[in-house]
């Protein structure tokens, strides 16, 4: 489809396709890496507290309260914190502000599929660096001319984690370009690269409350790094939308970050369920990649990935299947509650016979 009213840019876009948000009730929804445990009650209370006459007023364009909470948690200054409407928006600004150069940027061939979409939107040239046979990142493969590097850690949709020592080598070998570590899933077992920020002015760490704090619906993400990198993002943000976070989001996110007990309890529950589900699916014959995320990536040696996803759907269970080279035999399964995962195992047993 196209229209004479469209700009050239729009005609050439290949937009990102998010995982399905089905309208049907009673589905076991394990397809978009949401956290099944729900937000902190304190966050919900703070959001309710914001619902009132003050909604006639614009929110704080700098979301200072939230920046202070994030900076305090990580021992940084507020000048080292950028906040946005979900990490997707933060990432969009990163591509324009810090990754758009003459030289191509580098990211894995199998990774978050929004990255090439941003490249298309902003005209950023890129080169996809193949993961190894075992779907791992080898940082030595990134020793090539580049205009920047972006990797999720843990990677998506594989769930595989890169050691902090490898990230340090990547940063040291690429001092002339920005290295972005997208830590959307780091809460579920990985070590964050945040402590490296003080030593590497080329490091930008991106996080989100969507999965770690069960707040995908509130849309809050942030970037941490040297003040110069943050200033670049502020310049783009203030040329695009002065108020990316509304009053409810600022209040809810600030309270969620303060509730460290809820965060700790729910992330441990996700980790424990992930380990159990990994064992159960391994027993059913699946090859499950080692995951440090809130999802697992698994294939069955004798059953087609697409067929399995379809058979699960017929049983009201939805998982994510990517029709992409190298991974079209895999299912990406979000870690749900114990009950949801048990329902998945029962359905898989039935399907596999």
Ligand X SMILES: Cc1ncc(COP(=O)(O)O)c(C=O)c1O
- Applying CB under 6 A, which residues contact ligand X? 33, 86-88, 112, 152, 156, 182, 184, 208, 210, 216, 221
- Which CB, 83 or 312, lies closer to ligand X? 83
CB of 216 to ligand X, least distance (A): 5
- Which CB, 218 or 348, lies closer to ligand X? 218
CB of 320 to ligand X, least distance (A): 10
Please tell me the distance from the alpha carbon of residue 155 to that of residue 141, in angstroms, as a whole number.
16
What the block records as the tokens of 174 is 């690429």
CB of 137 to ligand X, least distance (A): 13
E strand or H helix at 180, and its extent? strand 179-182
- Which CB, 59 or 157, lies closer to ligand X? 157
Please tell me the distance from the alpha carbon of residue 188 to that of residue 267, in angstroms, as a whole number.
6
- Which CB, 112 or 118, lies closer to ligand X? 112
Give which of 318, 294, 281 is closest to 159, Cα–Cα.
294
Please tell me the distance from the alpha carbon of residue 350 to that of residue 173, in angstroms, as a whole number.
50
CB of 222 to ligand X, least distance (A): 9
CB of 246 to ligand X, least distance (A): 15
Give which of 66, 1, 50, 116 is closest to 248, Cα–Cα.
50
CB of 18 to ligand X, least distance (A): 8
Please tell me the distance from the alpha carbon of residue 164 to that of residue 141, in angstroms, as a whole number.
17
Helix 338-352 vs helix 305-314: crossing angle, to nearest 10 = 110
Contacts of 300 (CB under 8 A, 6+ apart): 284, 285, 286, 287, 308, 329, 352
- Which CB, 112 or 286, lies closer to ligand X? 112
Instruction: Judge contact between 66 and 223, C-beta under 8 A.
Output: no
Per-residue buried b or exposed e for 210-224, using 16+ beta carbons within 10 Å of the residue's own CB: bbbbbbbebbbbbbb
- Which CB, 86 or 347, lies closer to ligand X? 86
CB of 208 to ligand X, least distance (A): 3
Please tell me the distance from the alpha carbon of residue 282 to that of residue 81, in angstroms, as a whole number.
41
What the block records as the tokens of 316 is 């009201």
CB of 156 to ligand X, least distance (A): 4
- Which CB, 161 or 348, lies closer to ligand X? 161
Q: With left for phi above 0 and alpha for psi between -120 and 50, is residue 66 left, alpha or beta?
A: alpha
Please tell me the distance from the alpha carbon of residue 226 to that of residue 203, in angstroms, as a whole number.
7
- Which CB, 250 or 347, lies closer to ligand X? 250
- Which CB, 185 or 200, lies closer to ligand X? 185
Asked if the bond preceding 157 is cis, omega within 30° of 0, the reply is: yes
Please tell me the distance from the alpha carbon of residue 180 to that of residue 315, in angstroms, as a whole number.
39
CB of 87 to ligand X, least distance (A): 3
């Amino acid at each position: 489809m196209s229209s004479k009213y469209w700009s050239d840019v729009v005609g050439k876009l290949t937009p990102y396709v998010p995982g399905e948000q089905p309208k049907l009730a009673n589905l076991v929804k394990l397809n978009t890496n949401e956290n099944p445990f729900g937000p902190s009650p304190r966050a919900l209370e703070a959001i309710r507290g914001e619902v009132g006459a003050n909604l006639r007023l614009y929110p704080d364009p700098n979301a200072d309260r939230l920046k202070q909470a994030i900076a305090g948690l990580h021992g940084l200054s507020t000048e080292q914190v950028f906040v946005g409407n979900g990490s997707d928006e933060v990432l969009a600004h990163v591509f324009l502000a810090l990754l758009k150069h003459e030289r191509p940027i580098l990211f894995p061939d199998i990774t978050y599929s929004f990255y090439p979409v941003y490249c298309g939107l902003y005209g950023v040239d890129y080169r996809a660096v193949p993961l190894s046979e075992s779907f791992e990142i080898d940082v030595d493969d990134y020793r090539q001319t580049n205009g920047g590097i972006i990797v999720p850690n843990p990677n998506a949709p594989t769930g595989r984690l890169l050691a902090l020592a490898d990230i340090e080598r990547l940063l040291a070998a690429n001092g002339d370009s920005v290295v972005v570590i997208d830590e959307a899933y780091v809460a579920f077992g990985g070590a964050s690269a945040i402590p490296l920020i003080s030593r590497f002015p080329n490091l930008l760490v991106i996080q989100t409350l969507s999965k770690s704090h069960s707040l995908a619906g509130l849309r809050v993400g942030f970037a941490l790094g040297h003040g110069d990198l943050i200033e670049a993002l502020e310049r783009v943000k203030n040329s695009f939308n002065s108020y990316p976070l509304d009053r409810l989001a600022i209040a809810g996110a600030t309270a969620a970050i303060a509730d460290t007990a809820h965060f700790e309890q729910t992330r441990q529950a996700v980790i424990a369920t992930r380990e159990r589900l990994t064992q159960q699916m391994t027993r059913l014959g699946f090859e499950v990649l080692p995951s440090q995320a809130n999802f697992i990536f698994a294939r069955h040696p004798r059953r087609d990935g697409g067929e399995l996803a379809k058979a699960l759907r017929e049983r009201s269970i939805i998982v994510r299947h990517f029709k992409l080279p190298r991974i079209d035999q895999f299912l990406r399964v979000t870690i749900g509650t114990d009950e949801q995962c048990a329902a998945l195992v029962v359905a898989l047993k039935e399907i596999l016979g």
